[in-house]
A and B are shown apart, each in its own frame.
Chain A
């Protein structure tokens, strides 16, 4: 399971203030902290309060600041292509682009960008019409992204399809469709594209969010989920992932599997 730490996001108050005050400390703290907590990527998002024209500079600053103290690559998260490219330019190592949808005009921007910077890319199984409900409709959009990546020479191992989980309190019927989508994504190409998910979406404005998140994560892993953008500061979540890795025969069992999982 490739965990993408969600915490460096301007939606969170401490990061928003850090951006406003150009204070690197909170960014450094979460970059280090998330690396210790088994994250493989740091999601970097300026948040919606930064003006569109300032987003490239803020993104650049966030990526540089995070990589000053962490060896992890970043998952550069923005709806603004200029901000993403600014992040990619200063990024060290193999970045991830978060994200494109299946709209042709977006794919025409982001997929060549992934090829140019040799970055991985997250493809959302949705378009301007919104999030499809059924697994079949999600898969049709995922296939559009697969074909476009293939056309631009982005290898399937670098494509992460996000079947788009919605909050379970208001869009409860989407959960099973997402699980079915995850299963079907593996049949789209050989080698198969990878899969990811914005996990915390599942529990927006619900009670017991941690429980809902980790339960859905484990169910999704059983259906072929390779990666998730998640709260890696949640130890119960890490324990559950470690156990799921064992049960899916991805890690070799040992009695100290929780510790081994964390020491990588």
Chain B
């Protein structure tokens, strides 16, 4: 993203000395903005101005990495307030907390490792294990960090505001770029020193947005995760919104991902809070629960929120059973565009009869689009009938196609050997179609 003429002009010395070859500083700013001149042509520009101009051309939210290897978590590089404007880039990292005074740390970490779920044919999991220095004891914290590190492949978040405890923990885990959580007004210098020593990302926590901005500037460190200090959900929402909004306006101190804590003692409230943070810009959300029933809805929400709205969402191309279909029940063919599939599925369910639905893989486009693009063809439907295993599930050889592509019926019947029934143009007509045409 280029700089605007006004942004550049404000950093120039405004002497109009012509040493750069331009008649005025303003003219030079315009040349810079259009890429026709370079800043070093001005001998009078200050280092502070150079840095301001350099950082102004950086992306609005810096990319920050936590951990190493294949489970490394990347956060940041976000460019929008609303996902429909472009997309959200890096899904919120979900961290599960364990306390260092817990007697069964290894067991708990084992439970966290199991938080892997299968959604739309892909696996999705939590990303981080947070170790909390609840004991206040440095040795105990370091020991807990070692136990956690030995039992999981996930990157760690080390939570302690005691620099000595953090130093001890980093001796154990520092080589793996854990997230140091973190610095505040009291321990900023010590924490920044530790972060620099281990080249690890650092959470900076302020008491409110003003202090946060001041601390980030003071730290002068670039691998930062922001914490506004807010813990009530309404305040977190307000702060998250401000941080993202200001970052997009290129307020540099807020140009980093954020961390949030969904630690309400009521587990249902904690999950609802976490849902708010996932939708509203949180880079990381830390939870105290490792119960799969708490985590699954969050994983699902995160997957949905972070999908690219410009790409059609596809369902997996396979046999779907509605109700408990048996060998005599009907087979509907459609496409794997999620909107299309869920229309058909919803209308079949509304008809209260069991059936099979076969969404053909059209790269997630609708029936008519797929037909026009040559992706919903008699050949593809035949292939689906032959390879999906539907023939083993039903005793009949009848397939129902959408009314919109009635013209495919002859060719499909010839190719597949199945009897082709042309369904209604709209899936809303499926229930009455079923009554009139099926089973008679």
Q: Which residues of A contact B (CB under 8 A)?
A: 139-140, 143-144, 146-147, 150, 187-190, 192
Asked whether B81 is an interface residue with its Cβ less than 8 Å from the other chain, the reply is no
Q: Is the CB of B5 within 8 A of A188?
A: yes
Identify which of B26-34, B94-102, B161-169, B381-389 touches chain A: B26-34
Is the CB of B7 closer than 8 A to any CB of chain A? yes
Q: Pick from A143, A187, A189, A192: contact of B26, CB below 8 A.
A: A143
Closest to B27 in A: A140
Contacts of A144 on B, CB cut-off 8 Å? 26
Say whether B7 contacts A190, CB under 8 Å: yes
Expressed in whole angstroms, the Cα–Cα distance for A146 and B30 within the complex equals 12
Inter-chain contact A147/B7, CB cutoff 8 Å: no
Contact A187 B4 (CB under 8 A): yes
**Which residues from A are CB-within-8-Å of B6?**
143, 146-147, 150, 188-190
B residues with CB within 8 A of A: 2, 4-7, 9-10, 26-27, 29-30, 33-34, 249-250
Hey, which chain A residues are within 8 Å of B249, CB to CB? 190
**CA of A147 to CA of B7, assembled, Å:** 10
Which partner residue on chain B sits nearest A156 by CB separation?
B6
Nearest-neighbor residue (CB-CB) of B56 within chain A: A190
State the 9 A-B residue pairs at the shortest beta-carbon distance, nearest first.
Answer: A189-B6, A189-B4, A190-B4, A188-B5, A143-B5, A146-B6, A143-B30, A188-B4, A143-B26
> Hey, which chain B residues are within 8 Å of A143, CB to CB?
5-6, 9, 26, 29-30
Collect the chain B residues with CB atoms within 8 Å of residue A150's CB: 6, 10
Q: Residue A189 contacts which of B7, B27, B34, B250 (CB distance < 8 angstroms)?
A: B7
Which B residues lie within 8 Å of A139 (CB)?
Answer: 30
Contacts of B27 in A (CB 8 A): 140
Q: Which of B9, B10, B33, B250 contacts A187 (CB 8 A)?
A: B33
Contact A140 B4 (CB under 8 A): no
Contacts of A192 on B, CB cut-off 8 Å?
4
The complex places the Cα of A68 from the Cα of B301 at a distance, in Å, of 53
* In the complex, chain A residues whose CB is within 8 Å of the CB of B29: 143
Task: A139 to B6: give the CA distance in the assembly, Å.
Answer: 12
Cβ-closest chain B residue relative to A184: B34
Residue pair A147, B26 in contact (C-beta under 8 Å): yes
Q: A140-B30, A147-B9, A188-B4 are known contacts; what are 13 more A-B pairs with Cβ within 8 Å?
A: A139-B30, A140-B26, A140-B27, A143-B5, A143-B6, A143-B29, A144-B26, A187-B5, A189-B5, A189-B7, A190-B7, A190-B250, A192-B4
Interchain CA distance A140-B30 in the complex, whole Å? 7
Q: How far is the CB of B390 from chain A (nearest CB, A)?
A: 39
Q: Which residue of B lies closest to A193 (CB)?
A: B6
Shortest CB distance B10–A (Å): 8
Residue in B5, B29, B250 with the greatest tally of chain A CB atoms within 10 Å: B5
- Which residues of A sit under 8 angstroms from B34, Cβ to Cβ? 187
Q: How far is the CB of A71 from chain B (nearest CB, A)?
A: 31
Distance in angstroms between the alpha carbons of A143 and B249 in the assembled complex: 21
**Chain A residue with Cβ nearest B5:** A188
In the complex, A188 Cα to B27 Cα: how many Å?
12
* Docked CA distance A140–B29 (Å): 10
CB pairs A–B below 8 angstroms (24 shown): A140-B27, A143-B5, A143-B6, A143-B9, A143-B26, A143-B30, A144-B26, A146-B5, A146-B6, A147-B26, A150-B6, A150-B10, A187-B2, A187-B5, A187-B33, A188-B4, A188-B5, A188-B6, A188-B33, A189-B4, A189-B5, A190-B4, A190-B7, A192-B4
A147 to B11, CA, bound (A): 13
In the complex, chain A residues whose CB is within 8 Å of the CB of B30: 139-140, 143
**Residue of A143, A144, A192 contacting most chain B CB atoms (<10 Å):** A143
Cα A150 to Cα B250 in complex, Å, equals 17
Shortest distance between the CB of A149 and any CB in chain B (Å): 9
In the assembled complex, the Cα of A192 lies from the Cα of B33 at a distance in Å of 14
* Cα distance A52–B249 in the bound complex, in angstroms: 45
Query: Nearest CB to that of A190 among chain B residues?
Result: B4
B59 to chain A, nearest CB (A): 14
A139–B4 Cα gap in the complex (Å)? 13
Chain B nearest CB from A163 CB (Å) reads 15
In the complex formed, the residue of B with least CB distance to A188 is B5
Chain B residue contacts of A146, Cβ below 8 A: 5-6
Cα(A55)–Cα(B4), bound, Å: 39
Bound Cα distance A124, B5 (Å): 18
Name the B residues within 8 Å of A147 (CB-CB): 6, 9, 26
A197-B115 Cα distance, complex, nearest whole Å? 60
**Cα distance A20–B5 when bound, in Å?**
47
Residue among B4, B26, B250 with the highest chain A CB neighbour number at 10 A: B4
Shortest CB–CB separation between residue A29 and chain B, in angstroms? 42
CB distance from A239 to the nearest CB of B (A): 28
**Smallest CB–CB gap between A156 and chain B, Å?**
8
**What's the minimum C-beta distance from A155 to chain B, rounded to whole angstroms?**
12
Q: Tell me the bound Cα distance from A150 to B29 in angstroms.
A: 15
Q: Closest CB-CB distance, A186 to chain B, in whole Å?
A: 9
Q: Tell me, in angstroms, the Cα distance from A81 to B250 when the chains sit together.
A: 37
- Bound Cα distance A150, B33 (Å): 17
Which chain A residues border B2 with CB–CB below 8 Å? Answer: 187
**Residues of chain A with a CB closer than 8 A to B26's CB:** 140, 143-144, 147
CA separation between A192 and B26, bound complex, in Å?
Answer: 17
With a cutoff of 8 Å between Cβ atoms, the chain A residues found around residue B4 in the complex are 187-190, 192
CA distance A150 to B7 in the complex (A): 11
- Complex Cα gap A189–B7 (Å): 7
Query: How many angstroms between the C-alpha atoms of A109 and B250 in the bound complex?
Result: 32
Complex CA distance for A144 and B4, rounded to whole angstroms = 14
Query: Within the complex, what minimum Cβ distance (angstroms) separates A235 from chain B?
Result: 33
How far apart are B111's CB and chain A's nearest CB, in angstroms?
A: 47
> Chain B's nearest CB lies how many Å from the CB of A46?
34
Report the minimal beta-carbon distance from A12 to chain B, rounded to whole angstroms: 38
B31 to chain A: closest CB distance in Å? 10
Contacts of B10 in A (CB 8 A): 150
B2 nearest in chain A by CB position: A187
Q: In the complex, A128 Cα to B435 Cα: how many Å?
A: 82
Residues on B with beta carbons closer than 8 Å to the beta carbon of A188: 4-6, 33
Nearest CB in chain B to that of A144: its residue = B26
CA distance A143 to B2 in the complex (A): 16
Q: How far is the CB of B21 from chain A (nearest CB, A)?
A: 15
A187 to B8, CA, bound (A): 12
The chain A residue with its CB closest to the CB of B33 is A187
Q: Distance (Å) between the CB of B328 and the closest chain A CB?
A: 44
